[in-house]
Amino acid sequence: MYYKEFGIEHSTLMVFIHGGGVSGWMWDKQVEYFRSKFHCLVADLPAHGKSIHEGHFTIGGAADKIIDLINEKGKGKRIIAIGFSLGAQVLIAMIGKKPHLIDFAMINSPLVKKIPFANALTNSMMFAFPLVKYKAFSKIQAKSMYITEDYYDIYYEESCQLTKDGFLRVMKENMSFTIPHKFNTSNSKILVTVGEKERKIMKDSMKEVTNNSSNSKGVILPNIGHGFSLAHPDLFNRVLEEWIENDVNTL
């Protein structure tokens, strides 16, 4: 799995896990901010970005790969992990697999409640799949995800590389994901965020995550949809930094 490293090698390891349909570049503003304080690791999930040809995507398989990276790069370090959307599901799966691996987990816009009639919905979305190669449609999608003009070209290029099979697998994994059994045994400090403008199922998912962890809190962000870190990167960075610092000071 393709990844990049930035920052201070011997410092706390900060791992960023991107959402579906994008890749590690979505965290550029976070890496720019945190690299002077932390050892930052940014991966491209299988079937995305520079890992586009790396096997079939599963949330569990992606979780295993990032756990392996953390074991390699984070020995003896405090671990902070940040995930968005599909990446938030991967992060939850990681906590379920290794409940004591991660010290701080910021879980942004996770979907942990199965979507009714998911197969029918996914199949219907396949009819629209060819539209991703049309720039007019792609620009509408990019705008809805808060992708700015300076990142549009890479977003469009990666969208065109996505195969039908890859898209189908990602969507099925995303829509069927639920909280793993051992998640509630974790001692990780967990912050869950969701945008006020997101669907009700996303807000219900936030409650589901916080109800399954005694060390968690949830935040609904006013006037934000699906894409907190891209919509307001400066605010995202402040929220993450202040949460970590406040919790460290209370340990």
Rounded Cα distance, 251 and 247, in Å: 6
**Helices 149-161 & 135-144, crossing angle to 10 degrees?**
120
Residue 187 tokens, joined: 């001692």
| Closest listed residue to residue 157, CA positions, set 68, 49, 18, 40 | 49
Residues 183/92, Cβ–Cβ less than 8 Å: yes
* pLDDT grade for 127, boundaries at 50, 70 and 90: low
The whole-number pLDDT of residue 129 equals: 76
How many other CB atoms are there within 10 angstroms of residue 148's CB atom? Answer: 13
Give mean pLDDT, residues 94-109: 98
Q: How far is CA 145 from CA 82, 129, 190, in A?
A: 18, 17, 24
What integer pLDDT is reported at residue 206 of this predicted model?
98
- pLDDT, one tens digit per residue, over 42-87 is 999 999 999 998 878 999 999 999 999 999 999 999 999 999 999 9
- pLDDT tens figures, 173-206: 999 999 999 999 999 999 999 999 999 999 999 9
Q: Output the pLDDT for position 131.
A: 79
Provide the pLDDT for residue 250.
47
pTM: 0.95
Tell me the three state secondary structure of residue 222. Answer: coil
pLDDT band (50, 70, 90) for residue 118:
low
